[in-house]
Structure 1
Amino acid sequence: MNEFIQFRNQVYDTERNDIYPLQFLDAYIHKSETMNSDERRWKGQIRTIKQLEQEKKLGEKEIDELLSFLGEHPSIDRLIVDAVLKLFNDETKGIVENKTKELLVKQQYDSQQLYHVLDICIECGLDVLSDDDIFFMLQKYKRDAEIMSVLLDYMGRFNRQGFKEHLYELLTFDYPDSIKIQAINAMRNLYSMEAVDQSFVKKNVINENNNVFFEGFMDFLHNGFKFENPGTSILQSMFYGDFEDSGKGNNGGLAVLLKGLGEEIAKDNSVSYVFTLTITQDLTKPFISFYGAKHVLIRLPIYLDQAVRDKFIKRELFIKRQIAHFLKLANLKPDVFHIRFLDNASKAVAHLCKELNRKLVFTLTPDPHRNMFDGAGQLKELDFNELIEKLNKIKIGDELIDISDGIVGIGNAEVKTELAVYFPQFKNEHVNGKINMIGEGIQIEQLMNAEDLAIPSNRLMEWVETNNDFFEKPVILNVGRLSVLKGQVELLKAWSNSRLSETHNLLLIGGDLERPNQEEEAVIDFFKDHVHRHPEFKGRFLHQGAMSNADIRMLEKTIIQQDFDDPHIYICSSVKEEFGIAILEAMSIGFLTLGPLKGGVKSYMRNGENGFLIDTSNWETIAKDAEKYLYDSKIDKDEVKKIQAAGQKTIDEHFSIKKISAEFVSMYLSVKGEEDHEI
C-alpha cells in the first residue's frame, strides 16, 4: 500500500483536512531519525499555530508567542501571518494593534519580523507607525529592497504623506527597477501624477534597457487603460516567465499554451477580453502587449528576491495587493480568474478573486504529491525544508479545491481517476461536480499549411546553414527549459551510452545562454564537460539556446522533410510531464515520439500505436526503453510511418487549440452562470 496515499485518505476520512500538514509531520517525524533540534522546534511551532487556529483563540499571550516565532523559517512565517489574519476580528483588533505597537516601539525586531508585522498591519488596516517610525525605517533599511517595498505599500495604504524627499532619494539608489516603479506609483497615489518630477525620473530611472516599459507604464499612470467590450472577461495568471521567453529560465510550455489559448478564447463573441498577468523583474519588454485584438499580456513590475528558493511565499499578500491595485487603476473587473499552480502567488490571486466576489477556476495537478513517495510506495526521506515546501503546496492545493468554482484536470477520464487517488476530496459530490477534464492544445491549422507558417527568422536560417553537416543524419530532438526535472542531462547520457548515438544525432533546444540561472548554468556546464570528455561526439550533439515557438516549429518542419531509413525522433525526457505542449507539436509534425510514463502523456499516447511511453527515471531506463522499442522490436519503416501518421491524426482530431478553447469558453461561461451558451 502506498504510505502517502493511505495517509491522505486517513486524514480526509476524519474531515479535519485543515490540520493535514501537522498530521503528516507527526507521522513523518515519527519514523524519521534525521531531525535536528531546530527542526523539532519548528515542528512544535507549527503545532502551536494549528492548535490556535482550531481553538480560534487569539489573546495577548498567543499574539506574543506568534510574533516571537516570526523570522525563524519562511514557511512558518507564512503560517503565522495566515493564522493572525484568520483569527482577526473586531474583538481581537485591539490586542493585535497593541502588540504590534509594542514590538515596533522597542525597535528590537529583525527585518524578517518587521516585514511580516507590516504585512499584518496593512491587511488588518492598522496604522500603527508614527512619522518617526517611518523615518527610522527609511534610514535603517534603505538597502533592504523587501522592507522598502512593504513600507511603500504601507505608506500608500494609510496615505502617509510627508516623505516625498525620501521617495525621490529611493530613485537614486541602486534598486531594481520594480522598486523604483513602486516608489513612482507611491508618489502618484500620495500626491498626484503632476507632482512627480518627470525630469528627475528620466535622469535617475529610465535608460535604454527599460525605456519601452517605462513609456507604457507612465502612460498608464497618466491616462489609464480603456478595455470596453461586451462579454465575459477572463484573467489568467502566469507567474513563470513571459510569452517572449519560452524555454528560458523556468519558462516552459505553459507560456506557449497560454499565448495560443488566450488568442483563441478571445476570438469567441461571448468573451470581451482575455488578460494574461505575469510578474516581471527585467523591464526590457513593454508594460502591455496585445496578441490578437482581445488578448492582453500585462507585465506587472513586482519585486521578488530571485536568490530565494521559494520567492512567492513571503510576498504572497504583497502580490495580492499589487494585483488588486493594478486592477483598480485600470478599472478592470474580470468575471473569471484562472490559476494554474500550487504556489503562494496563485493562492494570492485566488484570495483576491474571492475578495472581489468573482469566479475562480483552478487547474489541478498532483504535484508535488507524486514526489512524496518512492517506487515502493514508501514515504521519501526528505530534508525538513523540502518537506515543509512540499506540504505548503499540498495545503494550498487542498484550499484551492475548497474555494474554487471550477476545477480543470489536464487530460481525460483516465487522468481524472489518477487525480482522485491523490485528492480524496473527489469523493465529495460537491467537489466532483466542479471538475472538467480538458486537454491542452496547439495551433494545428498553422502547422498544416506551409503558407501559414511564419517566415524563418534570419537567426534560424543562419544557424541551420552553420550546422548543415549535423542534419545529414536522423535527429533526436528535445525542446524545453533546462532543468533537472526536464531530464536533458539524463537524455544526453542515454544517447551517448546506447545505440541511439550510432543511428542519430542529438539536438537539445532550450535555456538562456546569455543570462543563465543557476540550474541552467549547471546543465550547460555538464553538456560542455560531457563533450570535452567524449570528443567522438563533437559535431553530433548540439545544444541550442531557447528559440521562438515559430522558429522551433519551422525547424521541426525542416528536419522532418529530410527522409532517412531511420525516423526522426522526439524524446521528452522529463521525469514527469503533466501534458506536454512540445510533445503535441512534435507529434503533429510527424516525429516518432517517445514520452514519459509518469504524468498525463499516457492520456493521449498509446504505446506502439501513435508513439511510445518510456520510463524516464534516469538515463539507464531511457536508454533501455528506447532501444527496446526502436531496435529490439524490429519494427520496419512502414510500421514506423504508420505510428507517425497515427500520432499526427491524434493531434489533429483531439488537440486543436480551437477545440480546446471552445471547451474552456463553455466552462468559463458555465461557472459564471451562463449555462445556456452554445459553442
Structure 2
Amino acid sequence: MNKFIEFRNRVYDKESNFSYPLQFLDEYINHSKAINSDETKVIEQIRMIKQLELEKKLGEQEINGWISFLGEHPTTDRFIVDAILKLSNDEMKQIVEGKIKDLLATQQYDSQKLYHVIDLCIECGMDLLSDDDILLMLEKYKQDLEIISILLDYMDRFNRQGVKDSIYQLLAFDYPGGIKIQGINVLRSLYPTETIDQSFVENHIRTENNKVFVDSYLDFLETDLTFDKQGVSILQSMFYGDFEDSGKGNNGGLAVLLKSLGEEVSKDSRIAHVFTITITQESNKPFISFHGDKHVFIRLPIYLDQSRSDKFIKRELFIKRQIANFLKRSNIKPDVFHIRFLDNASKAVAHLSKELNSKLVFTLTPDPHRTMFDGSGHIKELGFNELIEKLNKIKIGDELIRTSDGIVGIGNGDVKTELAVYFPQFQETDVDGKIKMIGEGIQASQSIDGEDIATYSTQLMEWSETNKAFFEKPIILNVGRLAVLKGQMELLQAWSNSKLSETHNLLIIGGDLERPSQEEAMVMDFFKDFLQKHPEFKGRFMHQGAMSNLDIRALERKIIQRDFDYPHIYLCSSAKEEFGIAILEAMSIGFLTLGPVKGGVKSYMKNGENGFLIDTSNWETIAKETEKHLYESKIDQEALKEIQAAGQKTVAENFSIQNISKEFVSFYLSLKGEKENEV
C-alpha cells in the first residue's frame, strides 16, 4: 500500500482538513531521522496556528506570540498572516493594531518581520507609519527590494503625498523593472500627471532595453482603456512564462494551451473577453497583447525574488492587490476566474475572485502529491524546507477544492479515478458535483505545408539547412522546457546506450540559451559534457534552444516528409506528464509517439493502438521499452504506420482546440446559471 495515499485517506475528513499539514508532520517526524531545534519551533508554531484555526478563536496572547514569531520561517509567516486575517474581528483588530504599534515603536524587527507587518497594515487598512517612519525604512532597507516594494504599496494605499522626493531618489537606483514600474504607478496615483518629471522618466526609467514595455505601460496609464462587456468575462492566470517564450525556464506547454484556448473561447458570442495574466520580468515585450479580437494577454510587472525556491509565498497578498488594481483601473470585473496551479499566486487569485463575488474554476492535478513517495510507495525522506513547501501546496489544493465553484480534471474518467486516489474529498457529494473532466487541445487543423515553412522563421530555415545531414536519418524528437523531471538527460543516456542510436538521430528542443536558469544550465552542461566524453555521437545528437510553437510545428512537418525504414519518433521522457500538449502536436503530424505511463497521457494514448506508454523512471526503462516496441519482430512497418495514423485520428476527433473550447465555454456558462448547461 502506498504510505502517503494511505495516510491521506486515514486522516482526512472535513474538520481535520484544516490541520492536515500538522498531522502529516507528526507522522513524518515519527519516521524521520532528525529534526533540529529550529525546525521543532516551526512545527510547534504550525501546531498552534492550525489548532486555533480549528477552534476558530484568537486571543491577545496568541496574537502577541504570532507577531513575535513572524520572520522565523516563510511558511509560518504565511500561515500566521492568513490566520490573523481569517480570525480577527473588530475587537481583535484593535489588539493587532496595538501590538504592531508597540513593535514599530521599539523597532524590534528585522526585514522579514517588517514586511509582513506592513502587509498586514495594508490588508487591514491600518495606517500606522508616519512619513518619518517611511523615510527611515526606505533608507535603512534600500537594498531590500521586497521591503521597498511593500513600502511603495503602503504609500499608495494610504495616499502618502509627502514622500515624493524620496520616491524619485529610489527610482534613480539601479532597481529591477518591476520596482521602477511600481514607483511610476505610485507617482501617477498620488500626484497629477502634469507634475511628474518626464525627463526623470526618460533618464532613469525608460532605457533602450525596456522601452517596448515601458512605452506600452505608460500608454496604458495615460489612456482610459476599457473593455466593452457584452457577455461573460473570463480571467485565467498563468504566472509561469510567456506566450512567446514556450520552452524557456518554467514555461512549458501551458502557454501554448492557454494562448490557443483563450483565442477559441473568446470567439464564442456569449463570451465578452478572455484575459490571461502572467507575471513578467521581461522588458522587451508590451504590457498588453491581443490574440484575436477578444483575447487579452497582460504581463503584470510584479517584482519577485527569483532566488527564492518559492517566490510566491511571501508576496501572495501583494500579488492579489496588484491584480485587483489592474482590474479596477481597466474597469474589468471577471465573471469567472480560472486558476491552474497549487501555489500562493493561484491562491491570491482565488481570494480575489471571492472578494469580487466572481466564480472560481480550479484545474486540479496531483502535484506535488505524486512526488511525496518513492517507487516502493514509502514516504520520501525529504529535507525539512522542501517538505514544508510541498505540504503548503498540498494544503492550498485542499483549500481550493473546498472554495472553488467548479473543478476541472485534465482528461477522462480514468484520470478522475486517479485523482480520487490522491484527493479523498472526491468521496463527498458536493465536491464530486463540481468536477468536470476536460482534455487539453491543440490547433489540429492548423496547416503548414512545405512552401509555408519559410514564412514563419528565416532562422529555422537557416538552422535546418546548416544541419541538413542530421536529418538524413529517422529522428527521435523531444520538445519542452529543460528540467530534471522532464527527463532529457535520461533520454540522452537511453538513446546512446541502446540500438536507438544506430537507427535514429536524437533532437532535443528547449531551454533559454541566452539566459538559462540554474536548472537549464545544469541540463545543458550535461549535454556538453556528454559530447566531450563521447565524440562519436557528434552530428547524431543535437540540442536546440526553445523555438516558437509555429516553428516547432513547421519543423515537425519538415521532418515527417522524409520517409525511412524506421518511423520518426516523438518521445516524451518526463517522469510524469499531466497531459502533454507537445505529444498531441507530434501525434497530429504523424510521429510515432511514446509517452510516460505515469500521469494523464494514458487518458488518450492506448498502448499499441495509437502510440506506446512506457516507464520513464530512468534511462534503462526508457531504452528497454522503446527498443521492445520499435524492434520487436511482430510489429512490422505497416503495423507502426497504422499506429501513427490512429494517433492522428485520435487528435483530430477528440483534441482539436475548437472542440475543447466548447466544453470550457459550456462549463464556464453553467457556473453563471445557464440551465441547459448546469454542472
**Does the C-alpha gap of structure 1 residues 224 and 11 become closer, same or farther in structure 2, counting only changes over 3 Å?**
farther
* Residues 492 and 590 of structure 1, relative CA distance in 2, 3 Å threshold: same
TM-fit CA distance, 1:58: 2.5
Of all paired residues, the percent bearing the same amino acid is: 73
- Residue 133 in structure 1 maps to residue 133 in structure 2: yes
- Contact 1:610 / 1:650 at 8 angstroms: preserved in 2? yes
How far residue 251 of structure 1 moved from its aligned partner, in angstroms, is 0.3
Query: Are 1:373 and 2:377 an aligned pair?
Result: no
**Matched residue type, 1:496:** S
Partners of 2:449 and 2:557 within 8 A in 1:
no
Query: After alignment, is 189-198 or 464-473 more displaced?
Result: 189-198
SS at match of 1:476: strand
What is the identity, as a one-letter code, of the residue corresponding to 2:550?
Answer: A
Give the conservation status (yes or no) of the 8 Å contact 2:287–2:300.
yes
Match of 1:79 in 2: 79
- Following superposition, the deviation at residue 552 of structure 1 comes to 0.2
Partners of 1:547 and 1:646 lie apart in 2 by 27
Q: What is the Cα deviation at residue 634 of structure 1?
A: 4.2
Matched letter for residue 352 of structure 1:
L
| Corresponding letter in the other structure for 1:407 | I
**Aligned equivalent of 2:396:** 396
**In the alignment, which residue of structure 2 is the partner of 1:124?**
124
- In structure 2, the residue matched to 1:323 is 323
Looking at structure 1, the residues matched to 195 and 11 of structure 2 have their Cα atoms a distance apart, in angstroms, of 57
Residues 164-313 of structure 1: pairs in structure 2 closer than 5 A: 164-313=164-313
Q: Distance in 2 between matches of 1:632 and 1:656?
A: 32
- Deviation (angstroms), 1:84: 1.1
Report the TM-score when normalising by structure 2: 0.98
User: What is the SS of the residue equivalent to 1:444?
Assistant: coil
Write the distance in 1 (CA, Å) between the matches of 2:15 and 2:92.
Answer: 28
Worse-superposed segment, 423-432 or 575-584: 423-432
Deviations 1:632-652 (A, max 9, x none): 354111011000000000001
Distance in structure 2 (CA, Å) of the matches to 1:344 and 1:295: 25
Contact 1:454 1:550 in 2 (8 A): no
Counterpart of 2:415 in structure 1 is 415
Q: 1:286-314 deviations in whole A, cap 9, x for unaligned?
A: 00001111111000100000111110000
Aligned to 1:352: 352
TM-superposed CA distance for 1:671, in Å, is 0.8
Find the aligned partners of 1:214 and 1:372 in 2 and give their Cα distance: 43
C-alpha distance after superposition, 1:75-121 (max 9, x if no partner): 11111111111111101011000101111111121000000011111
Aligned partner of 1:105 in structure 2 is 105
Assess, with a 3 A threshold, how the Cα gap between structure 1 residues 470 and 451 changes in structure 2: closer, same or farther.
closer
Equivalents in 2 of 1:106, 1:187: separation in Å? 31
Cα shift readout 1:310-331 (whole Å, capped 9, x = no counterpart) = 1000000000000001100011
Are the aligned partners of 1:246 and 1:548 in contact in 2 as well (CA < 8 Å)?
A: yes
Root-mean-square deviation (Å): 1.3
Query: Match of 2:27, SS?
Result: helix
Q: What letter is aligned with 1:423?
A: F
- Per the alignment, residue 620 of structure 1 pairs with 620
Q: Output the amino acid matched with 1:178.
A: G
Q: Give the Cα separation in 1 of the matches to 2:138 and 2:456.
A: 52
Aligned to 1:609: 609
Secondary structure of residue in 2 paired with 1:314: coil
Provide the secondary structure at the position in 2 that maps to 1:104. helix
Shift of 1:672: 1.4
Alignment correspondent of 1:525:
525
Note the C-alpha offset of 1:471.
0.3
Cα separation, 1, equivalents of 2:533 and 2:564:
29
In the alignment, which residue of structure 1 is the partner of 2:333?
333
Q: Which moved more, 1:314-323 or 1:625-634?
A: 625-634
Question: How far is the alpha carbon of 1:337 from its aligned partner?
Answer: 0.4
Q: Which residue in 2 is equivalent to 1:20?
A: 20
* Structure 1 match to 2:91: 91
Distance 1:173 1:501 in 2: 54
- Which residue does 2:643 correspond to in 1? 643
1:159 aligns with 2:159: yes
Give the corresponding residue for 1:29: 29
**1:473-488 alignment, distance < 5 Å:** 473-488=473-488
Structure 2 CA distance, aligned partners of 1:13 and 1:122?
A: 35
2:494: which partner in 1? 494
Contact 1:412–1:439 (Cα < 8 Å) also in 2: yes
Letter in 2 for 1:668: Y
**Partner secondary structure for residue 143 of structure 1:** coil
In the alignment, what sits opposite 2:675? 675
For the 8 Å contact 2:595–2:601, the answer to whether it is kept is yes
SS at match of 1:478: strand
Distance 1:290 1:530 in 2: 42
Q: AA paired with 2:295?
A: H
- Does the Cα contact within 8 Å between 2:480 and 2:509 map onto a contact in 1? yes
CA distance in structure 1 between the aligned counterparts of 2:646 and 2:546, rounded to whole angstroms: 29
Q: Helix, strand or coil for the counterpart of 1:296? A: strand
How far 1:568 moved relative to its partner? 0.3
Change beyond 3 A, Cα 1:88–1:646: same
Q: What CA distance in whole angstroms lies between the structure 2 residues aligned with 1:274 and 1:450?
A: 33
- Deviates most, 627-636 or 78-87: 627-636
Mapped to 1, the partners of 2:556 and 2:625 lie a distance apart of: 24
Report the alpha carbon displacement of residue 336 of structure 1 after superposing the two structures with TM.
Answer: 0.5
Deviation, structure 1 residue 428 = 0.8
Question: 2:460 aligned with 1:460, yes or no?
Answer: yes
Q: Name the TM-score, length of structure 1 as normaliser.
A: 0.98
Question: What amino acid does structure 2 have at the position aligned with 1:4?
Answer: F
> Where does structure 1 lack aligned partners over 5 or more consecutive residues?
none
Shift, 1:42, TM fit = 1.2
The AA in structure 1 aligned to 2:194 is E
Contact 2:448 2:554 in 1 (8 A): no
**Which residue matches 2:443?**
443
Distance 1:327 1:645 in 2: 46
CA contact (8 A) 1:446 1:453 kept: no
Alignment check: 8 A CA contact 1:188 1:195 kept: no
Distance 1:341 1:450 in 2: 38
**Separation in structure 2 between the aligned mates of residue 531 and residue 449 of structure 1, nearest angstrom:** 34
Cα distance, 1:170 vs. partner?
Answer: 1.3
Q: How far did residue 676 of structure 1 move?
A: 3.2
Query: Cα offset for 1:34?
Result: 2.5
Q: Is the 8 A contact 1:567 1:591 kept in 2?
A: yes
DSSP 3-state at the match of 1:189: helix
CA shift for structure 1 position 540 = 0.3
Deviation at 1:186, TM superposition (A): 0.6
**1:237 Cα deviation after fit:** 0.3
- Matched with 1:50 is 50
Judge conservation of contact 1:594–1:611 (CA < 8 Å) in 2.
Answer: yes
> Counterpart of 1:632 in structure 2: which amino acid?
E
User: Residue 440 of structure 1 aligns to a residue in which SS?
Assistant: coil
Separation (CA, whole Å) in 1 of partners of 2:259 and 2:452: 17
Contiguous gaps of at least 5 residues in structure 2: none
Matched AA of 2:301: P
Q: Distance in 2 between matches of 1:633 and 1:86?
A: 65
Greater shift in the superposed pair: 82-91 or 259-268: 82-91
Change (3 A) 1:363 1:501: same
- Is this contact kept in 2: 1:470–1:505, CA < 8 A? yes
Residues 1:420 and 1:448: Cα distance change in structure 2 (over 3 Å): farther
Q: Deviations over 1:107-151 (max 9, x none)?
A: 121000000011111111111112221111111111211001001
The aligned residue for residue 538 of structure 1 is 538
Helix, strand or coil: the match of 1:129? Answer: coil
Contact 1:490 1:619 (C-alpha < 8 Å) held by counterparts: yes
Give me the whole-angstrom Cα distance separating, in 2, the residues matched to 1:561 and 1:201. Answer: 53
SS in 1 for 2:485: coil
The one-letter code sitting in structure 1 at the alignment partner of 2:296 is V
- Which deviates more, 60-69 or 478-487? 60-69
